[in-house]
Every structure is written in structure tokens, then in C-alpha cells.
Copies of this chain bind each other. A is one copy, B any other.
Amino acid sequence: MPFFEHHLFICTNERDESASRPSCLPKGSKKLKAVFKDAIKDAGLKHRVRANESGCLDQREHGPVVVVYPEAVWYGKVHVDDVGEIVQQHLMNGKPVERLRLPESCINNEHCPHRNAKSK
């Protein structure tokens, strides 16, 4: 059984500016994590849901990226304005926010059409 009903990992990886692929940190993912933590607490979910920073989740063209386990729901281009909807709809009511989900064809797929042609 999961020991948290939902466990969020928010990519806060930073790559060198010269890297061929972007990274999540410059897109505001540290702030995003802080907003998630506050929203989870405010919703009374503190001991049922946890939000953590993580290293590179390898979906960086879609950053900031968040993955929610154990259900393995991946979100991309998540902004602080989206946090309330994710908390209410997904974390409290079990319905992922479809408009923010990453397409299956993008996840763990080096042929994702959004990747820079230079990347591998």
C-alpha cells in the first residue's frame, strides 16, 4: 500500500545554459514546489499527501514537470496558477487534471516530437 495517498515529485533540475535541452528550475519549479506545499497544508492534506523536489525527470521540454505517484500521472508546463486545480480536483477528489497531463507519446520517449532535434 502507498504510505502517502499521493506523492508529488516536482523537477527542480538546472542545466547549463549551453545545454541542448532546457531544464525545469529556470521555469519556476522551486516556487511551484513551495506553492504546492502551502496548498496541500491549507487543504488539510498534510499527512496524506507529500510534495518533494526531485532531480531531472527527463521530460524537460515540458517543464515545469510534476509526477504524482502511485498513480503515475505526469503533468507538464505546470504553473503556480494551476496548483489549486490539481489539489482540489486530483489530490482531494481523485480526478487528474486532463488539460495538464503529458501525452503518453512524450513520456520516456526519446522520439517525443517536442524534443530539440539536437538532443538525444
Contacts and interface: CB of A to CB of B under 8 A. Distances in A.
B74 A71 contact: no
A52 B50 contact: no
A81 interface: no
Q: How many copies does the complex hold?
A: 2
B108 A9 contact: no
Contacts of A70: 69-72
A41 to B, nearest CB: 14
A48 to B, nearest CB: 9
Most B-side CB within 10 Å, residue of A52, A56, A74 = A52
10 contacts: A3-B107, A4-B108, A7-B67, A7-B72, A9-B54, A54-B55, A69-B69, A69-B70, A70-B70, A70-B72
